[in-house]
Amino acid sequence: MKIEGSSAIVVGGASGLGEATVRGLHSQGAVVTISDVNDERGRALAADLGERATFEHADVTNPAEVEAAVTAAAAQTPAGLRISIHCAGVGWAEKIAGKRGPHQLEFFEKVIAINLIGTFNVLRFAASAMIANEPFDDDERGVCVNTASIAAFDGQVGQIAYSASKGGVVGMTLPAARDLSQHGVRVNTIAPGLFDTPLLAALPEEARQKLGAGVPFPQRLGQPDEYAHLACHIVENRMLNGETIRLDGALRMPPR
């Protein structure tokens, strides 16, 4: 899929991995719709980028809002929506059971709703919009990139909800790609390791350095633009389909 001139939506695009991806796509000539629940940051990013950047509010757990954002993105160019990158997600730390009793169901459900069902919502509406497109080279109509985590494979103590949600995203990847193959729509997933995002920015610098030192190579936290580079490569490489790619510097998370 050619990035230049294509309409793209980045969900969770107002900060972190999403913001870096928005900037990466925009720098390569895409017409980018930034979608997020943070209206202030999303509008500020769109204003900073200027031409070929717009903002659409969307809570990924609200199907109507997701559909509206996708529809708006598809209308940005005559060729329709071609690129969908999903970066929205949350975390929650709690053991399945302990001295305080069982894991709170409310928070398990919330993480699943945002990380897994939210990903599915974006994927189903984006794919539906792409199917209506006229095909490009190799009969390709669009590409969807979702975000999991290495916690899908190396879930740590207290990550039961997060790991389950991200494992679900990994599990959707191949069947989604197979479902959409007849329509020329590709689906891939990136599973990042430890990245320098707003979530980790809240930690003391000493703690951040310690986390980065645990990565085999390079011994540091990943940079959001490294995620963005991979997302853009997936968009452009037509043979990448149905894959989950770990982006973690060879890190395998210990139990704790």
Q: Which residues are catalytic?
A: 162
Token pair, residue 196, equals: 């320098």
Contact 215, 251 (CB under 8 A): yes
Token pair, residue 5, equals: 């001139």
Q: Which of 181, 176, 39, 186 is nearest to 121 (CA)?
A: 176
Distance CA 43, CA 53 (A): 9
